[in-house]
Amino acid sequence: MKRILFAIIFLALGGSMALAQTTNYPKAKVSFNDFKGLVAEVEAHRASRLVDLDTFLKMSKEPHVIILDSRSAFRYERVHLQGAKHLAFTDFTQNSLAQIIPSFDTTILIYCNNNFEGDEVDFPSKVARPFNPVANQMDDQAKPLMMALNIPTYINLYGYGYRNVYELHELVDVNDPRIVLEGSMVSRK
């Protein structure tokens, strides 16, 4: 019985391997060169669009402005800035962005987990501590990498044609009385 089962598994794997070896798929719709070019173009634009909390909050009250939260649906539903609209970064497409953002002229304010401190559960920091393979451990002496969602969000919005984007550029305490948070976990805090 074991031999028959082994033969069936072997044939099944061999058959799928043969199929994979003979199928010629086109290249994936991925271009690192396109991305590098976009990053180079975005860098100067973004540098002039970094705003402090007071400016962010003042802008959020103006007409034709949205606060876009591109964190996961789980994090957004738990806690987000009051009035923020949600579209997870993983769901960015031309069509999905057009449904959330009424026009290319709309002012878009963005933030991410790395803009808030004091709540590692709902705003977990996106920082990578470098790994030292020689010591086989994290290298606490090396400079950590900031892996914030702000930058890819900004780059992708720009790439999809949205140029009126501003990014919160401060690390804000979640208990700052100037901000209002909402979501399923807000009343429990």
Phi-psi category of residue 48: left, alpha or beta, with phi > 0 → left and psi -120 to 50 → alpha = alpha
Reading the block at residue 42, the tokens are 């975005």
What average pLDDT does this structure show over 2-26? 64
Write the pLDDT tens digit of every residue in 85-130.
999 999 999 999 999 998 999 999 999 999 999 999 999 988 877 7
Residue 146 bridge partners (DSSP): 127
102 Cα distance to chain centroid = 21
Helix or strand or coil: residue 146?
strand
CA distances, 86 to each of 33, 92, 144, 175 (Å)? 29, 11, 29, 22
145-146 and 127-128 strand pairing? antiparallel
Q: Does the domain made of 45-182 have the CATH classification 3.40.250.10?
A: yes
CA distance 177 to 183: 17
pLDDT computed for residue 157 by the predictor: 98
pLDDT computed for residue 6 by the predictor: 58
Residue extents of the structural domains in the chain: 45-182
Write the pLDDT tens digit of every residue in 36-92.
999 999 999 999 999 999 999 999 999 999 999 999 999 999 999 999 999 999 999
Reading the block at residue 150, the tokens are 């702000």
* pLDDT confidence bin for 141, thresholds 50/70/90: confident
One-letter amino acid of 67: I
One-letter amino acid of 147: M
